[in-house]
Amino acid sequence: MRVRPTRRSRPRTKIRPKHAEAVPGFVIAVDRGRYTCRVDDTDVTAMRARELGRKGVVVGDRVALDGDTSGDDGTLARIVRIEPRHGQLRRTADDDDDKIERIIVANVDQLVIVCALADPPVRTGFIDRCLVAAFDADIQPLLCLTKADIGADALPEIDRYYADLDVPYVTCRPDEPIDDLAERLDGKLSVLIGHSGVGKSTLVNRLVPDADRSVGDVSAIGRGRHTSTNAVALELPDGSWIVDTPGVRSFGLAHVSSDSLLHAFGDLADVATGCEPGCDHTGQSGVCALDSLRDADGEAPQRLQSYRRLLAAIS
């Protein structure tokens, strides 16, 4: 009688949760497929794990990392998870047939729109487009008006132009402390955006005394140079963060709809519930319920004018 041999049972292995030892990090710079992440007080260079697929990693992302997170020279960690985002600052390439939407920074609390009151003069069109991007992303906007020492005469007009939108502002002079601005940044992740020549770089250097060295360190990642089109997060002395965006001068807004912008105007949104389906709220394509707000002389209230001015910026 042949005895059938019994199959040796395989040794039972202990199942380890996937990425059980992953540590939390905060992305502060992105450069050519390498990511600088702040882990506690250490800057760690990382790559994106293959299992993330095509999901991109941007400055401001809260991530989970595994691998070598010591931050030592030559080490490389892996970003294995991107935590849920809020406050995504986005732009669309308006001249792109595919209307590709790109996230510039994630988890933003405040968008600081830096404009000079003079030399160069205030560009309200640029401010309007920035406000559209902020309202669409549910990010608090803040106007930072520089060169108040030579452009104070322009301040009343700017105040009147944006008063009905409840947009706060601070003014900065080169000969005075910037305590008001620093107070507005406290406890937040803020993004600074502005045209060339408005004094944004000067503000960054005043807020972060070693900003020049920090920008070079976090953006080079082995190459020893700074890519000017990349956003870079810089830590303030009080532990808050600002994101400098030297490559962002304007916003493509093709991803923003009239309804999305309307959500930022709660009082107008209530009235707009009386609009016909598909109404674009411009008042030019037929009857719009918002026109019921006009006075006896047919004049639209300032807030409706402001909404439609921002609506025009989309197109």
Average pLDDT, the chain: 83
pLDDT digits (tens, 9 = 90+) for 121-168: 888 888 888 898 899 899 999 999 999 999 989 999 898 888 888 899
- Name the band, by pLDDT with cuts 50, 70 and 90, for residue 187: very high
Does residue 45 or residue 300 have the better pLDDT?
A: 45
User: For residue 226, is pLDDT > 50?
Assistant: no
Does residue 68 or residue 210 have the better pLDDT?
A: 68
Segment 269-277 shows an average pLDDT of 91
User: For residue 8, is pLDDT > 60?
Assistant: no
Place of tokens 């000969």: 175
pLDDT at 278: 85
Which domains can be identified in the chain, with CATH numbers? Answer: 23-82 (2.40.50.140), 89-244 (3.40.50.300), 258-314 (no CATH)
The pTM assigned to this predicted structure is 0.82
